[in-house]
Structure 1
């Protein structure tokens, strides 16, 4: 029961992880397609879960979770995430989000978060959010399944929150989209991940939108 409560704590939108500042490329996508309908947003979220979170973020998270407190192993995964993320806006957003996540846990007294924060400051780690989550969550009572569920829920709810703040959908429309994402997240969490699983991502529309958004004169979100 306590591990489930810890997962709920980490997935809670009030946890100061810094995710409120990031739209995961959605702001750029809406700028490219201002009249995006709720059904189209739902399709975009479905693609994000299938073609980014499940095959990239989840893999990095699990590999970091299994590395535990091994800072060298975490740094290696971190560098792989950096090298596998094509556009600068997404790399910077991931690192900033990871830095906020580490800062919160360090202030809460988590020793691994303190060590990772110092490693980022030294340049030994880059601090990508999925890697930082995997490492730290391995120390707060979550198992692999709960860590994946927490990550998937946080990614989906972050997108919904961004869409609401951007005025693309209403609150209840957002809850419908989020609810419909949950079985898909569960489906992927049930699939095993091997130790040699590669990081794979294919979301060209969101990638291009994020790259264009980086050059925008006015932005609500950092990426």
Structure 2
């Protein structure tokens, strides 16, 4: 696929971990899985990341983002999708993380002049909507002119990069090792991103070990990450 310079620069801006979207505070269960490895099994970061991409991002976040991208002009349908994301997530910590990241994402884009972000922020603040991250990503990136395919790739890259960054901060592996693992999984993101999403495709996740680790970790005292 050939991308023109303007489109490429837009993708680079929004895939950059320096973009103020708030995701640095969350490890999506990686911290808990590393600390409780003695109870749930040894943590292999690359295997963990592959599972998160395949059984959470591809089947839940990616699906929600694609559907939200298509619904960008239908705010009522977007709100219904937002509530579907809430109902499909069984772990309260992950629900809270998604909404907190979503609000950070909306705030950043509202301050950058995005009208869809400003309009949806009103819905979140008055309780009409919940502001889950993949929903607002699809909505706002559509408003920026980003294609659904490009938005999906950016989302997948951000998911992987945020976990790689968390792994380094947690001391699970070094920066070079994290980048090597990320590089090996880029083709996985590409393949998953190409999988078609139906307009009414349900959301699903299957990451039981990381969810179990988070539930145990919730009562174990001080944490570096919120999830």
Report the TM-score range of the alignment, normalised by the length of the smaller protein.
over 0.9
Taking structure 2 as the reference length, what is the TM-score of the superposition?
A: 0.94
Mapping 1:45-124, distance limit 5 Å = 45-124=49-128
Contact 1:75-1:125 within 8 A present in 2 as well: yes
SS, match of residue 9 in structure 2: helix
Determine the structure 2 residue equivalent to 1:31: 35
What is the CA distance between 1:36 and its match in structure 2? 4.7
Distance 1:214 1:109 in 2: 37
Residues 90 and 210 in structure 1, CA contact (< 8 A), matched pair in contact too: no
- Cα deviations by residue, 1:28-63 (Å, 9 ceiling, x for unpaired): 1111117956xx110111111111111111000000
In 2: Cα distance, 1:215 partner to 1:78 partner: 29
What is the deviation of 1:70?
A: 2.1
What is the distance in 2 between the residues matched to 1:62 and 1:178?
A: 23
Whether the aligned pair in 2 keeps the contact of 1:10 and 1:150 (CA below 8 Å) is: yes
Distance change >3 Å, CA 117–CA 216, structure 1 → 2: farther
Of 159, 169, 174, which aligns to 1:170?
A: 174
Partner of 2:211: 207
Partner of residue 184 from structure 2, selected from 180, 186, 189: 180
CA RMSD of aligned residues (A): 1.3
**Separation in 2 of the partners of 1:216 and 1:119?**
35
Question: What is the match of residue 139 of structure 2?
Answer: 135
Distance 1:110 1:212 in 2: 39
Structure 1 unaligned segments of length 5 or more: list them: none
